[in-house]
Amino acid sequence: KENGYIRTAWLYTWTGELRKDYRVRATIKFSQDRSKIEVKSEANYYTGKDWMIGSDTALLETLKADITEITGQVTK
């Protein structure tokens, strides 16, 4: 996108099985000159009433490693 970020759809199978009570997504932000990227993970757990908001460290570390390997750029 022209405005400098990519956001994935919610993924309900990050744990290896389909779970309707747990979802994750990632947002990747580019610096204005496109020389740096910042990766953020979001995770939600459904309590049966509301979604509890948090982050997924394993997802974040996996994304950072994959992006660094592909692009050669270091993520924050």
Cα 16 from Cα 74, distance rounded (Å):
27
List pLDDT tens digits, range 34-72.
778 888 999 999 999 999 999 999 998 998 888 888 877
pTM > 0.85: no
Alpha carbon of residue 61 to chain centroid: 10
Residue 64, domain extent: 5-71
Q: Please state the domain count of the chain.
A: 1
Residue owning tokens 């759809």: 9
Q: Specify if 32 maps to a domain.
A: yes
The residues that bridge with 27 in the sheet, in sequence order, are 7, 40
Q: Specify if 76 maps to a domain.
A: no
